[in-house]
Structure 1
Amino acid sequence: MTLPVLASLAAMHRAAAADPIALDPANLPRIATVDERFQSYNIEMVEVTGGPFWRPYGRPESAGAAQRLPDAYATYRAIELKNPRLRRLAAALSPAYLRVSGTWANATYFADQDTAPSKPPAGFNGVLTRPQWRGVVDFAGAVGAAIVTSFAASPGTRDVRGQWTPEQARSLVSFTQSIGGEIAAAEFLNEPDLKSGAGIEADAAAFRRDFSTFHTFMRKMSPRTVLLGPGTIGTDATAADMFTAVADGIDAVSYHHYGAVSERCGGRRTPELALSEEWLAQTDEAIAFYLRLRDQLAPGRAIWLTETAEAACGGNRWAATFLDTFRYLDQLGRLAKAGVAVVMHNTLAASDYGLLDWQTFLPRPSYFGALLWRRLMGATVLESGVPIRNGLHVYAHCGRGLAGAVTLLVINNDRTASRELILPSPSERYTLAAAKTADQTTATTAANLASATASLNGHVIATGDEHELPPLQGTLTAAGTIAFAPATITFLSIAGAGNRDCS
């Protein structure tokens, strides 16, 4: 094929990609329904107890040599769950699930007393006290969150034969109930397909045996708790074996997903790939694996993604910037279409992948995406009819709280070209973009998009004081052709759509 012909075909492709697409919100069909707590989050167990967790990077422009273990860790003080700003911002995302778990939970000893022992008992790596867990229960009640957790399964919980015993779990569940709390859902342990530093081997036969003990215990001690599993992170034979081991005993399927590991653990991903179709599509590849196993082993069970973020080991340097807002919202859109009931972001406020800064609790760009999703996207998922292609990802839900209303999430992940839709009804528009400084160019480079600040409809989002939520006001947009600038994320709230599936 000659160069002129290739150039002509490329030009035709660009033109086709740029052609406006007509979309009628009134006739978008219902394809799924998600949990009212669909958009949820994690606070790691080690945040509650205090201890070593992933050391945050500096600002993106200060990137230096990659950190390596153990330098990847910093000692975190226990999170201030009574902080007014933290509570106000978390409450704005409710109703939600609050998952308190993570790798450290596998070996955390519940002291069942008000003061911690001088060191963890043998077979444990950390200590959780009554006041700390009471703080979780109080926080969940104050912000409208339901608690999800997992339990210790390290050598300290096991008998002389190496089999798991429920004494530690019994103490935690009993104390939770005694103070008026409830564990809404639970995984037996965190990521059983990985060999854990807590001394837990990835052994499917042992997992089956211990989960059976756990299942019997929980059905008696906390019968309303939704039992989740397998809680695996892989998409390989080991994860499949773990799924098979517990499929008969779970109420809902749970899995974890990260598209990469951060520099801290030897990852090599660059920010230039953060908007690529290859990167964003990894969400589909992971859920396809678990959907297949669900349909084979646990048909009809709901699926929960109980831990996910930009990259494992705390996130990369740009996880705290506007760049990751694309991954965050595109992932929610894809998984809702796939029928996933719940998605729990890791974390609410720790390391670089937190929705909030770990020290100040000030919102990061992804938080504003989360807040708009919570305010505008209802639980009924619609089929937009627009195939995913570079620069145009269109997700549709019934609008929250308005009969017949539809909300569109339109992601333009192309860095250079605009996209267009044609709508028959007026809408309220909310366009998120990176807030650029005066010395940045207008080009949407990785450096410009790695902004710690977002703008809404062209105005920098002000964070306000600790008692106030930032105002997020839409702009009335007329019916007709609507353009979406490069590297932007737009919610379109269409109150007058008249969709019968949204009544």
Structure 2
Amino acid sequence: MAKTLLGASLLANDDTMEKSFAGWDPKSSVSVNPKSFIYLTSVDKCYLSYNIEMVEVVGGKFWAPYKDIDSKKSNENLSHDNSNLYKALKPLDLSDKKLRMLASALGSAYVRVSGTWANSIYFQDDDKPKLKKAPKGFENVLTRKEWKGVIDFIKAVDAKLVTSFAISSGTRNKDGIWTPKEATKIANYTHKLGGHIAAAELFNEPNLLEVSAAPKGYNASSFAKDVAVFTKFAREKIPSMLTLGPGCVGEGGALPMVKSALNTEMLLSATPTPKFDVFSYHYYGAVSKRCAKSPKEGGTTLEDALSLEWLDKTDGVAEFYKNLRDKYLPKAPLWISETADSACGGNPWAATFFDTFRFLNQLGSLAKSGVKVVMHNTLCASEYGLLDGETYEPKPNYYAALLWQKLMGEEVYETNLKVKGLRIYAHSLKGSKKGKVLMVINPTSSLHTFDFKTSGMIYVLAPSPYHSDNPYKTMSNGEVSLNGVPLMLKDEKLPELNGTPLKAGRISMLPYAISFVVFEDSLDS
């Protein structure tokens, strides 16, 4: 007899509940012995990281909430002039205690402050009131006070800063080549504040020329010349800063509708040959409903959110970029410096447990693929933010990130467990020399029974409330539970993430749930 667990809640002492799920086979089980897991690779200590958009720092137009969008109006115009797509954001208060508390709880992380707005940012290197209009050759203004807010935030949450620099016409010499004038101002002020830029891309998404702020006629040769100057600047001015690049998006089948005059291969094969310390790329598996009305336009649907085709899409794109990395920068680690469920601010269900399957599957899958860092977009802006942009209340993906950071260590293992409909990953247990963690993602309506050869602890993320007759029906409410207990702030404090003891034996894993099983002493002495 197998027991069906929702963490601490024993839903059935016999097989009553199992029988309620279609296709459950009482004689079938998957044997799990953590001592048989095989070491594959390791990820960065800051593997799970996140973005804060530059537009959040300086204030400006960003993706409007779906409640403010008139669905009857056409959104073919993606410029900031389209008031149906964009909403004015006030500069983010990075000193907010609640925001800092929640960010600190995520532990070691890179915080990337970048995005399209950073490509044309003018750094106002004085303490005068903020300019009402950017100087010629720039579109946006970043003040000392705003950048100090970034540096203070990075220090307060014990993170590492990643950024990019302006490349618009105001940064260029008479020959049209990039100069580090603006980058030097930011680097100097960062140093003056006692901060440090751990890593930087030259600029955001260089293959999207239409929105990049690059000058007219910009091409692969232009990029190569700019990178040569950028690399020299980095080595001389901030020698400990990692250079990231090229940072393209939409390739490898990710966003087939993205048509660009440039691509990663063109950029990396140009002369002089661009070199980076880290090969970076951005990944979105679709365009959100804001910008695409149907899958034919590059969008996706709620019905697809739990499909294996959707969950596995990140694998093919990772393989595409790995091949390019191996060809042009064979010794460089692979980072995703920006990712979420979909471009254009995320879909409505990015704020719900529906997207948690993609979120955690992507982390597990990319770690196995050799990706060293994954930077989620964003911390607290738009639907894909880990936190609500107005209240900073955590969304399901935040709690998923919190649990990942609590349990999943840097060492990545192959389990050789193949179960139809499931995705299964294993890491070392964080803070342990011997422990391992098994993550079982079940995006299906089927129950699956495992036979554990070792006792441990179990943590089950599931919809809240979890209805055993139909757990699917509460997945869109924006709530999540751990071991049957709803996760939410209480008196502005985070709940404890406690596991439930698990004896060796047969356990049935719930449908529409994600289970972490911890084996604290799973290696031979």
Q: If the length of structure 1 is used for normalisation, what is the TM-score? A: 0.91
Q: Alpha-carbon deviation of 1:149?
A: 0.3
Q: Residue 433 of structure 1: CA displacement? A: 0.9
Q: Deviations over 1:390-411 (max 9, x none)?
A: 1x11100010112210111110
CA pair 104-324 structure 1, distance change in 2 beyond 3 A: same
Equivalent position amino acid for 1:242 in 2: L
Question: Which residue, out of 124, 147, 157, partners 1:143?
Answer: 157
- The yes-or-no answer on 1:206 pairing with 2:215 is no
Q: CA 1:461/1:188 → structure 2, altered by over 3 Å: closer, same or farther?
A: same
Q: Which SS does the other structure have where 2:379 is aligned?
A: coil
Q: Measure how far apart 1:65 and its partner are.
A: 4.8
Tell me the distance in 2 between the aligned counterparts of 1:130 and 1:313.
Answer: 29
Number of the residue aligned with 1:241: 266
Assess if the C-alpha contact under 8 Å between 2:24 and 2:447 holds in 1. Answer: no
Quick one: distance in 1 between partners of 2:23 and 2:322? 34
Instruction: Provide the residue aligned with 1:427 in structure 2.
Output: 456
Is 2:87 aligned against 1:74? yes
Which of 489, 492, 502 in structure 2 is aligned with 1:463?
A: 489
Aligned partner letter, 1:42 = N
Aligned partner letter, 1:301 = A
Separation in 2, partners of 1:66, 1:395: 43
Q: Following the alignment from structure 1 to structure 2, what is the Cα–Cα distance between the partners of residues 432 and 14? A: 22
Secondary structure of 2:326's aligned partner? helix
Equivalent in 231, 237, 261 of residue 247 of structure 2: 231
In structure 2, the residue matched to 1:37 is 46
1:412: which partner in 2?
442
SS, match of residue 307 in structure 1:
strand
Instruction: Give the deviation of 1:55 after TM superposition.
Output: 1.1
Residues in 2 aligned to 1:56 and 1:384: alpha-carbon distance in whole angstroms: 41
- Distance in 2 separating the partners of 1:85 and 1:199: 35
Structure 2 partner of 1:4: none
| Aligned partners of 1:240 and 1:293 also within 8 Å | yes
Quote how far apart the aligned CAs of 1:197 are: 2.9
Structure 1 unaligned segments of length 5 or more: list them: 1-12
Tell me how far apart the structure 1 counterparts of residues 204 and 210 of structure 2 sit (CA, whole Å): 9
Which residue of 106, 117, 127 corresponds with 2:119?
Answer: 106
In the alignment, structure 2 segments of 5+ residues that lack a partner are 1-21, 253-261, 295-299
> Aligned residue for 1:316?
347
Question: Would the aligned equivalents of 1:63 and 1:317 in 2 still touch at CA under 8 Å?
Answer: no
- TM superposition shift of 1:16: 8.8
Question: Cα gap change, 1:499/1:454 in structure 2, threshold over 3 Å: closer, same or farther?
Answer: farther
Q: Secondary structure at the match of 2:50?
A: strand
Q: How does 1:259-298 map to 2 (within 5 A)?
A: 259-268=285-294, 269-298=300-329
Q: Which residue is equivalent to 1:349?
A: 380
CA pair 280-16 structure 1, distance change in 2 beyond 3 A: farther
Displacement of 1:34 in angstroms is 0.3
Pairing 1:376–2:407 present: yes
Cα distance in structure 2, aligned partners of 1:29 and 1:247:
38
Partner Cα distance (2:133, 2:42) in 1: 47
Q: 1:499 to 1:229 in 2, by over 3 A?
A: farther
Q: Residue in 2 aligned with 1:132?
A: 146
The amino acid across from 1:92 in the alignment is A
- Aligned 8 A contact 2:412 2:426 in 1: yes
| Aligned equivalents of 1:454, 1:499: Cα separation in 2 | 36
Report the number of matched residues.
Answer: 480
Q: Normalized against structure 2, the TM-score is what?
A: 0.87
Q: Which residue of 2 aligns with 1:491?
A: 516
Q: Distance in 1 between matches of 2:432 and 2:321?
A: 33
Distance 2:338 2:273 in 1: 19
Q: Which amino acid aligns with 1:57?
A: Y
State the distance in 2 between where 1:17 and 1:66 align. 53
